[in-house]
Amino acid sequence: MRNTLTIARRELSAYFISPVAYVVIAGFLIIAGYFFTLILFYSREATLRYLFSNLTTILIFVAPVLSMRLLAEEQRSGTIELLLTAPVRDWEVVLGKWTAAFVFWLIMLIPTAVYPILLNRYGDPDIIPIVTGYLGIILLGGTLLALGTLTSAMTQNQIVAAVLGVGLTLLLWLIGAAGDFAGPALSGFFQYLALGTHFSDLARGIVDTKNIVYYLSVTVAALFLATRVLESRRWR
């Protein structure tokens, strides 16, 4: 665990050394603030449910950008060989990289805490959907970053990793539509696999353990596969 935290701290520091991190944070907050203001102006409702729905769309593209360099850059620069020969396990490398990206995602979300504060100051919002909505967006972010870590392990090119990450995310996001063509027997299966299905429940204030288990399971599976991909480099 010490190795994982060391890698996470190093990777998190690397985020803030690059100006790209500040551009991503600023862009995310500007877009989120714009949607918050626009939705509040037109809906006149003290809720963040509509904002969360828009943030998921933004996250589909932001998460691959945040995770594209995690392992791809190490492979491109050749520093991955130093990591693989160091006294550190492959899963510690993958987990450390993902942890840094996840913490960065949490840092991006912190300023949005002003939204529920404003709603509570000038309205009477239902707190439960706000809390569960944040839980959902945090879990979804962790899952998408894990998928991005997997695609980053598969290539040396950051752009390719980002494109693969977006593609994989869209596949899991839209796979529920396949249930319309698969028939009643498989419809429920495809709906369960869809990322958006589980988030919509949390955004409405519905806490079902199957939704939490789903996101945690996909995250663990993606990190496991990323570890296997990294391990395969030892034999090349």
Q: Is the pLDDT of residue 188 over 80?
A: no
Q: How many domains are contained in the chain?
A: 1
The residues near 10 (Cβ < 8 Å, ≥ 6 apart) are: 96, 100
Contact 192, 115 (CB under 8 A): no
Q: Is the pLDDT of residue 192 over 90?
A: no
- Chain segment 118-152, per-residue pLDDT in tens: 888 877 788 888 899 899 999 999 999 999 999 98
Q: What range defines the domain where residue 20 resides? A: 2-235
Closest by CA to 225, choosing from 98, 64, 56, 61, is 98
| CA 203, 208, 209, 214 torsion-angle sign | negative
Question: Model's pTM, two decimal places?
Answer: 0.90
pLDDT at 181: 66
Q: In whole angstroms, give the CA distance from residue 131 to residue 148.
A: 26
Contact 46, 125 (CB under 8 A): yes
Angle at 92 between CA 59 and CA 81, to 5 degrees: 100
